[in-house]
Structure 1
Amino acid sequence: MSGSNKRRKLDVTNDAPISAFQARQKAQTETVVADAVIDKQPQLALAASELVEEEARSTTSASSPSREASPELLAIERQSIAFSTYVPNSNNTSILRDGSLSLKLCPGERMIILGEYEISVQKGQIAILHMTLPASKKRYRVFAPSSHSLPVIRCLATDANVAEISLHQSKSGLRELETLSPLFARMWNNEPKMIDSQTFQLEESGEKSSSFQILLSPSKAAGKSYLQPVISPPEWNELLYRISVVESEKPECILVCGPKSSGKSTFTKLLANRLLSQQMALCSKTKPGIGILDIDPGQPEYSTPGQLSLAHITEPNLGPSYSHPMIAANSRVVRAHTIAAITPAEDPDLYVSCVLDLYSHYRSLQSSFPSRPLVVNTPGWVQGTGLEILVKIRPSHVIYMSTEGPVEVVKDLQQAAPKNTFHALPSQVSVYTTRTAAHLRTMQTMSYFHVGEASNKSPTWYATPLIEIPPWEYVSSFRQSFSAIHRHLQMSREPSAELLLDSINGSLVHPLILRTPVSNLPYFNPSNTTKLLPQHSSCIGLALIRGIDIGRQRLQILTPLSRSVADEINDQGRKIVLVSGKLDTPGWAYTENLIRSRNEDDSEDVDEEEAESLRETPWVERLEGSQGRGMAARVWRVRRDLGKSDGGG
């Protein structure tokens, strides 16, 4: 029945899956022309070593069925394997004078850490999330909360030497956001010890509590929450290795697509780290770097929801997306666009135009950054708009994150790009998750608005409610163009001019001429189809309209962007346009102060103070008992319905 949409196993031409051990053996026996590459060959086998259940799978035959065929066996394997094979003792573990933890990992040993920390390699090398970190003075910040699978630190079995590493305390301020939102709570380590062990005790490090904890015992870890390591199936490892060792004068362009919850984001992260690791090993004269074309507006990796971006990445990705809402260090966003929605379905034509404009900028930068591979992270669209993008970009590799079809989708992909190398990989094994996609979008946006000044080129966060942050205030009259803000553009369903003020007040906008009859607010005519052409505009960030003072005719805006950004745009004679659409309502911003007050007040009799706070908080009502309770709500609920479906802000 060719017309059936029922999923079934695909008959693809990929090589048979191999185990981690077999992949390492293959990596060691293959010959590479350059002597430098031969010397680095054990490092290039990293793609086959990022497995938590390495021992359990090393005896699997290459001709055995996929792991998806035996989920019961998988469950048994996970329970029988400890989190870390590293066992601390007085010979391999010590606390240094600066309070850091010095460890020695023998070849083949691994460890899993909960929390946030900085890691440096003193001798040898380690692997983490398919990234090889050689010995150097550089520190890498790692975020490992329980909201996501935990990274695995490994000393490769192919290495001959012991890896000596240092783990440093990291106090970025990100975990302090739990005082403003329950979404950030119960996902970090809460124990004062740096090592979760009943048999090995360390002397006090001088800190009241540690920012991280090495997990040795799965039974003790399970008492905190459901914890799980990052799992890279053998089929993933084989493809990661094959793509990373391909040498060509033309840079690789890899497009990752597939169904929802199939592991696209995880695989894209591993692939980007793998390619960056290869460049670090081979490029001694030029700085390593790869391009990330992030066109998933619902779950972006390096921007806020609703944005599409082209980023030049020079640092490994060692944390969830909300740990890097702004790109720091030597990486940068080359160009970005907004569709003001979390799905391309709102305006497919605009979406395609934005994607193609970003890709054209990547092509134009190839002369400045030769041999820079490009990884394309998609929202999962593989038909219609997705096929149109695929045909025009024509990547060198198309990776579909499912071996169960639908067959019709796979055939369309193969026909749309017949000359491309097509790969069908098994989806990520379904895992328990403590945060939904909507929760993660909220955390990403909230993290963005609480980023402070960069310290040592790494982001820091502050846990001050936005209501206490002085906003930008544009004092120019509405009857004139603002000093920085030019006009307002409402994408998707435009409200009438009379409702514009209520529509945008307290909402999120991306920082394009009609004046409203009541507030006299500069506005694009909703009767005309006004769009920003991607060729002549770009997105600079996200802003929250804190308030609109009609009497004084002033607009108050909160944004983590520096004021110098707006000043520079003004000096160039360009205009800033506020773009709103169907972004999630920022209910978290309305309740931050209430949540912090509740957390700080230990007394039970807070009704009177809370009632007074509620009277001063717009769009929030009190709920009684368990009415409307959710993960991010205690006794309040945000009411922000302005006639927009999905609660768009």
Structure 2
Amino acid sequence: MVEKRKAEKQQPAGPVSAVAALAARRARQQQAQSAQAPNDVPQVVPEAEPPSKKPRPSLEGFESTETNGNRRDARNRATKKHEPLAAVMMAKRPVGATRSPKSEPEPELDVTPERAQNEESGQEHAEDAQEMNEDDVASVVGDPDGYESPAETPAELQNFPLSKARLNKSNIVYSDENTLCIRIKERTNLALLGHYDLWVKRGVVSLMGAKLHPSSQLHRVYAPSTHSLPVIKCVAGVDGDAEVEIKSCNSGIARLRDLSPLYQKIWTGDNTVADKITLKGVAKESKRTFSVLYTSADDSLNRHLRPLHLDKKWSASMKALSQREGRLRVLICGPKASGKSTFCRYLLNHVLSPTPETENGYINADGVAFLDLDPGQPEFAPMGQVYLARLRSPFFGPPFTHPSLDDSQGGEIVRAHHIGATSPKEDPDHYALAVMDLMDQYRLLLEKHPQCPLIINYPGWIFGQGLEVATWLVRSLGLSDVVYMSEKGPTEVVDPLGRAANEARVPLTILPSQPTDFVSRSSAQLRAMQIQSYFHMSHPADLTTSLWSDTPLSRTRPLTVNYAGARQGILGIMVMGSQIDPDLLHETLEGSIVGVVTVESSKAIMGEMATSQTSNHEDHEDIDMDTANPGADIAAELAMTNCIARTPENLPYLFLGSGSCTPLDPKASNCLGLALVRSIDTTSHKLELSTPIPPSHLQSALEKGHGIVLVRGQIDNPNWAISEEYYAARAAERRYQQSTSGSKKTGDSGIEQSHELDSSEHNRTLALLRERVRRASNVPWMTVVEDNSRVHREAAARRDKSLWKLRKKAYPGSESEADY
């Protein structure tokens, strides 16, 4: 009381306003409430506003709302899990969600003290955060694999509506353990999770921008939890409804979960309420490859599931663009994470929809040309490439479900160029030359298919030099439309883009962006999933769909190529981005991803130094095939110019330029795909390559007399390939233990059979499986952490101070945000 009276005496005299009195009274009430509040209620601690030098991006969701007690609980939950984990695999925490006092506390992010200090500094550190490597994303404590922790999300965010339709006896036509045929009323929809074949039997339904009419065609749909779920919507029905059949499929893509944790928990979980209704009368353990979900709360794995809906302006723009039919030449551009890839995917499907003649009299028999200029997240090719593709049918699924179009009946790659990086800013000149060549290829394509429209996907490199390239494309490509995917500008981008469009007399359409608030995989992880899917996918000639193999690359038969001698199979090896000493080429090449590029003439390598002299040497052969002297003329010209340097291992090092290798000329080269250099045998001068490139493509290039060059770029290291054998060994041990856990097992007929297991045989088999796990965990460049708790991670970091990782928080619009 004495201190209070002293404080009152020190206050200045004068009248006190009613507003000030009310504010003081409210402050005292808040203090009293906070004093009586229980300790376990999370308190929001506002962050101090950093000094503003430049407009910095929003960092919503960064405020800590956890008390010490909640953090201890999260740490205790984490330490209870001791699942082994191969290091290097990280994931992004969902951001952008608001929390209520009743919701569960969010899991704690493991951020190093250096990163915490950077976040409190100012704009310089915020800009540094945007330039960080996307591999260095903070893992979520509480999940041993560090990818997503759905159990920690607020309850109100889980119960999100997905489907308007409800299944009952009146709309279920027939169903069994693999098939579900249902009727969907007009203006209602149904969301499914998993992968399945869709057959439209009656009415018209829309799916990912495509309008599907009744036909005998089956549409393969992939709907993983990593992306927004596609919605089947009835747009026109017979007697008020449409009838569709949904059937399980076994493509093998789900088995990739045994090779990488990135593929775990992305497909179906336990049967939902709707599944149980349609599975009545069948075996209890029956499980389809798809599940019907009414709300996100139906998911047994409690993941962030959202339906894939379009903005009304997006739908109107797609309808207007599709009306241009064969005259369509549209460029889609915008900032990162604005929805460019989603818009392109929807527009492609909309134009490729097999509409009957009765609608508008137009039939798209020439397909659609898709010019993908985003080497970081391409749609139909692995990373590091720009390409021109001609598509003939819609595609339903994210990019890692169609990472290539080799021998695919849905389309083919007309021409591709290996950029060797995930961003065009590494070499803008080479990027521009590649774009010019692809446009020339499109003009040649029009001679055979005059009604083939063109859709161009431009990367999020829209500032600075990227803006200059974009405006140059608008002025020079002869476009019909330009679409910019952001209504928020900025003006320094929109104004130059608008002026370029006015000069070219091209309309500019500005659409709102649709960034995602919840992501379970970062951009780097999605790239790893796509390239791993690329190396494990095949296109059988007798099937219309793709298949995936769950065999680790280390257990597959490699392609053996001679790199020196009389039967040399490659012209040379190039390294893009930096100069490599010939003595270090062996270490740089082994275990890396390389582009397999065919060289049509020596001009692709020598440029202006190319000579007109040719010599028919018969000392060179490619890849041990029976083709006589492929690439001999090109090899002879290169031998005359002395542009091939032999390393101590006799590797043919192609080096031209000052400081770094000059890239191959796009006018005289074509990328066939990627390959993994498994090993280099210096005694026999052989390379062992793992590649999904069809042998027919290699044979065709060799028959034309083209040479083959391996190009080492700056794309992500194949960490996924190093850990495949380890995860496959763990999966084999886990399956065996599950199969022998009981004294009875269920046979193929579904009837329980007695099963007496010999203990000695069981122990011997289990020992062999565990020995495989041990051998697989003891490989270079991989560290297996048996306990992924924060305490053990910090202890490992202190032991190994020579290596460090900067873990950062992901926020919408950052470099680590997935560019959908």
- Provide the TM-score with structure 1 as the length reference: 0.80
Find the counterpart in structure 1 of residue 672 from structure 2. 540
Q: Distance in 2 between matches of 1:430 and 1:371?
A: 35
* Larger mean Cα displacement after TM superposition, 525-534 or 323-332: 525-534
Aligned residue runs from structure 1 range 398-437, under 5 A:
398-418=482-502, 419-437=505-523
Q: Give the superposition deviation at 1:274.
A: 1.4
How many Å separate the matches in 2 of 1:97 and 1:199?
11
In 2: Cα distance, 1:274 partner to 1:592 partner: 38
Cα distance change on mapping 1:612 and 1:124 into 2, 3 Å: closer
Q: Which residue of 2 aligns with 1:466?
A: 553
Q: Helix, strand or coil: the match of 1:256?
A: strand
Which amino acid in 2 is paired with 1:467?
A: S
Unaligned runs of 5+ in 1: 9-74
Matching residue of 1:449: 535
Shift of 1:492: 0.9
Counterpart CA distance in 1 for 2:772 and 2:368 is 52
Q: Which amino acid aligns with 2:574?
A: L
Contact 2:180 2:278 in 1 (8 A): no
Which ranges in structure 2 are unaligned for 5 or more consecutive residues? 1-53, 59-153, 598-642, 738-765, 805-814, 816-820
Matched residue, 1:325:
403
Which amino acid is 1:318 matched to?
Answer: F
Give the superposition deviation at 1:421: 0.7
Judge conservation of contact 1:489–1:523 (CA < 8 Å) in 2: yes
Distance 1:527 1:411, change over 3 A: closer
Shift of 1:290: 0.8
The Cα RMSD (Å) is 3.2
1:277 and 2:353 aligned: yes
Cα displacement string for residues 259-294 of structure 1 (whole angstroms, at most 9, x for unaligned residues):
100111111111111122276655676625111000
Paired residue for 1:621, among 783, 795, 807? Answer: 783
- Cα distance in 2 for partners of 1:141, 1:380 equals 29
SS of equivalent residue, structure 1 residue 518: coil
TM superposition shift of 1:82 = 2.9
The alignment status of 1:114 with 2:193, answered yes or no, reads yes
- 2:327 is paired with a residue whose SS is coil
Residue identity matched to 1:458: T
Q: Distance in 1 between matches of 2:684 and 2:529?
A: 34
- SS in structure 2 at match of 1:540: strand
1:287 alignment counterpart: 365
Q: Aligned in 2, Cα 1:388/1:146: closer, same or farther, shift over 3 Å?
A: same
SS in 2 for 1:365: helix
Q: Distance in 2 between matches of 1:586 and 1:546?
A: 11
Residues 447-502 of structure 1, C-alpha deviation per residue, up to 9 Å, x if partnerless? 0000134252211000000000010012x46144623x221111111311000011
Contact 1:585 1:640 in 2 (8 A): no
Query: Map of 1:1-150 to 2, 5 A cutoff?
Result: 82-95=161-174, 99-150=178-229
The aligned runs of 1:334-373 (5 Å cut-off) are 334-373=414-453
Contact 2:168 2:277 in 1 (8 A): no
Give the aligned residue type for 1:620. M
Partner of 1:393: 477
Structure-2 change in CA distance of 1:506 and 1:640 (3 Å): farther
Q: Deviations over 1:200-226 (max 9, x none)?
A: 653327984210001123322275311
Say if 1:294 and 1:308, in contact at 8 Å, map to a contact too: yes
Deviation of 1:525 (Å): 2.3
Query: Does 2:343 correspond to 1:264?
Result: no
Q: 1:612 to 1:197 in 2, by over 3 A?
A: closer
Moved more, 446-455 or 253-262: 446-455
Change (3 A) 1:89 1:196: closer
Equivalent-residue separation in structure 1 for 2:511 and 2:221 (angstroms): 27
On the 8 A contact 2:349/2:394 being kept in 1, the answer is yes
Aligned to 2:374: 296
1:140-289 aligned within 5 A: 140-156=219-235, 161-192=240-271, 196=274, 202-204=280-282, 208-221=286-299, 223-246=301-324, 251-277=327-353, 282=360, 287=365, 289=367
Q: State which drifts further: 504-513 or 81-90.
A: 81-90
Q: How has the CA–CA distance of structure 1 residues 286 and 201 changed in structure 2, closer, same or farther, with 3 Å as cutoff?
A: closer
- Give the Cα separation in 2 of the matches to 1:76 and 1:253: 46
Aligned length: 562
Q: CA deviation at 1:610?
A: 4.3
Report Cα offsets for 1:152-210 as digits up to 9, x if no partner: 101116876421111011111011100000001101002256x6367665332798421
The answer to whether 1:487 aligns with 2:572 is yes
Structure 1 residue 361: deviation in Å?
Answer: 1.0
Q: Please say if residues 158 and 304 of structure 2, whose CA atoms lie closer than 8 Å, have aligned partners that are also in contact.
A: no
CA distance in 2, matches of 1:279, 1:391: 33
Superposed, 1:523-602 pairs within 5 Å as 523-525=653-655, 528=658, 529-602=661-734
- Supply the AA of the counterpart residue of 1:323: T
> Is residue 257–residue 400 contact of structure 1 (8 Å, CA) maintained in 2?
yes
Which residue is 1:36 aligned to?
none
Q: 1:117 touches 1:141 (CA, 8 Å); kept in 2?
A: yes
Matches of 1:206 and 1:538 in 2, distance apart?
53
Structure 1 position 499 matched with structure 2 position 584? yes
Aligned to 2:607: none
Amino acid paired to 2:776: S
| Rounded Cα–Cα distance in structure 2 between residues aligned with 1:477 and 1:368 | 39
Deviates more, 1:238-247 or 1:531-540: 238-247
- Contact 2:196 2:221 survives alignment (8 Å): yes
Distance 1:431 1:440 in 2: 16
Which of 496, 510, 514 is residue 595 of structure 2 equivalent to? Answer: 510
Contact 1:99 1:206 in 2 (8 A): no
- Equivalent position SS for 1:423: strand
Is the 2:275–2:291 contact (alpha carbons within 8 Å) kept by the matching residues of 1?
A: no
Tell me how far 1:561 sits from its aligned partner: 1.4
Distance 1:96 1:329 in 2: 30
Say if 1:510 and 1:539, in contact at 8 Å, map to a contact too.
yes
SS of 1:444's equivalent?
helix
Partner of 1:612: 775
**Structure 1 residue 562 displacement after superposition:** 2.1
The AA in structure 2 aligned to 1:413 is L
d(CA) in 1 for partners of 2:489, 2:770: 55
How much identity, in percent, do the aligned residues show? 32
**Residue 62 of structure 1: aligned partner:** none
Q: Distance in 1 between matches of 2:478 and 2:363?
A: 30
Structure 2 residue identity aligned to 1:111: L
Which amino acid in 1 is paired with 2:490? P
Would the aligned equivalents of 2:207 and 2:232 in 1 still touch at CA under 8 Å?
yes
